[in-house]
Structure 1
């Protein structure tokens, strides 16, 4: 078994972390031979719950789990970590506008960015799950100037997983038969789930998703809206936000970042924009990426039609507005 790596999970007493911590500690992210030291960060009112989580981790008798450190101190939480899952954030409450949520959360991520800058490894891989994830990741990176901007990412893998599941059900195949569905832009209702470059295996034969579904109206309307509004649908049905599926997506995201993607396969990640596909520069924008040696690269040369381009403009505009508002909050 290899030397333990330190991994931090924030919001560690929360619902997403309850599923996420077990998956990480089982070796589903960093590998079945990689021992771990988990740093669990939460706010002081959650200390009692955090103690219960630590008891459950101990009682799970997980061979890879070397040590667990629960804490309310960012200096302890981020000390020497190689990977960070930033899950903790103020949840959106009924009647709360998105801008209110943004205002509260960017202050949290400003502080965490500063702590990462001071205490974490300089090659730390940071995944922001807490919403608004794209803009929180941007703010976190802004306040961690000694960490490469490429090391801060936002999670759109849940949206990708949702989109793949919808296509698999529509075509009548297994989830593993659906490849290269893309999420463009923001992790919000303006995101664009795109199948124009995706493929699906039907009876062992690979064909384009567009041809397999053979329903342009569905792919441009119901499919897009279902994926965009899936989080709200889960809340409506469950009376709580997505937790199990969000934890699984966070594991998928970090697993692929750590271990790489298969040749010809790409995954969706919110990453710092270089202006590819006409997206605004210097925001965290979800692109299709390929990953080799723990480094992501935006997939170039994919086809986009007028419909897709119009959707990218909408989500890019929203992200620019979020950036402007977030920066005004943290600079007040």
Structure 2
């Protein structure tokens, strides 16, 4: 689902939501009436998490697990930043995580990721790049603000990199993830990791036979916890705003 009112330079997220709530409520009605009930939906248009949630709520005949949104673009950017800093091809980096909303509040997490060194040995990312200042500063800012920087430069949001990420998302969803590897997808929260159930939130997932599954049991430290809670809180606020817009239309 790439159709939507685009986020332009200087626009607030709330302005974009006001226009897209109506669009996605109508799209949901069309899906509910005409689509195969096993259709798999990937929302790319922003506000991606909220647009996907609107589809889920207003297309009740389609399973919630089939409504997803794109955070693979952020995931790919995080992989690229780590690969560049470590001096290895991006294909040698895996298991970063994008937690939360596809916005400037999402959190790119490298605590569980690994890098395959030129010697062919897999090592934790933080062992290969022993630089907390970079991870907590430039790295986070680059991944979180990438979309805004592109809009500032182009006056429009990214296109080719988003298309590439959408292909990655769908490919893994349908064909599976490699053993020992996960990817980031915006999916329906079941309450995992203390995220309020019912939100569309980006989690680490593995995929098999056309189904995604949230990776469980990853330790969450005291630094990460408030970041995850803050992006969840933003999603709750956006859901409440979307509800109020819908009630007023």
* Common topology (TM > 0.5): yes
1:258 alignment partner, one of 174, 180, 185:
174
- Give the Cα–Cα distance (whole angstroms) in 2 for the partners of residues 96 and 196 of structure 1: 33
The aligned runs of 1:47-62 (5 Å cut-off) are none
Match of residue 102, structure 1, among 17, 22, 34 = 17
What is aligned with 2:240? 324
Which residue does 2:229 correspond to in 1? 313
**Structure 2, unpaired ranges of 5+:** none
Alignment of 1:139-218 (within 5 A): 139-203=54-118, 204-218=120-134
**In the alignment, is residue 274 of structure 1 matched against residue 190 of structure 2?**
yes
Q: 2:175·2:210 contact (CA, 8 Å) conserved in 1?
A: yes
Match of residue 299 from structure 1: 215
The whole-number CA distance in structure 2 between the counterparts of 1:289 and 1:320 is: 22
Measure, in 1, the Cα distance between the counterparts of 2:9 and 2:78: 26
RMSD of aligned Cα (Å):
1.0
- C-alpha spacing 1:97/1:240, structure 2 compared with 1 (3 Å): closer
The corresponding residue for 1:238 is: 154
Say whether residues 1:288 and 2:183 are aligned partners: no
- Which of structures 1 and 2 has the larger relative contact order (alpha carbons within 8 angstroms, sep 6+)? 2
Name segments (4+ residues, structure 1) moved above 6 Å: none
Instruction: Report whether the alignment pairs 1:131 with 2:46.
Output: yes
Q: Is the contact between residue 9 and residue 152 of structure 2 (CA under 8 Å) also seen in structure 1?
A: no
Whole-Å separation in 2 of the counterparts to 1:122 and 1:277: 29
1:11-52 CA distance string (max 9 Å, x none): xxxxxxxxxxxxxxxxxxxxxxxxxxxxxxxxxxxxxxxxxx
**Rounded Cα–Cα distance in structure 2 between residues aligned with 1:130 and 1:165:** 23
Residue matched to 1:74: none
Residue 242 of structure 1 and its aligned partner are, at CA, apart by 0.7
Q: CA offsets, 1:94-148, max 9 Å, x none?
A: 3322111111101111110110011111000000000000000000111100100
More strand by share: 1
Taking structure 1 as the reference length, the TM-score comes to 0.73
Shift of 1:238: 3.2
> Which sits farther off after the overlay, 118-127 or 96-105?
96-105
CA contact (8 A) 2:6 2:16 kept: yes
Deviation (angstroms), 1:178 = 0.2
Stretches of structure 1 that go unaligned for 5 or more consecutive residues are 1-85
Whole-angstrom distance in 2 between the partners of 1:200 and 1:92: 34
Equivalents in 2 of 1:251, 1:94: separation in Å?
26
Match of 2:140 among 218, 221, 224: 224
CA distance in 2, matches of 1:239, 1:140: 28
Give the conservation status (yes or no) of the 8 Å contact 1:185–1:315: yes
The answer (yes or no) to whether the contact 1:196–1:303 under 8 Å persists in 2 is: no
Structure 1: distance between partners of 2:74 and 2:9? 22
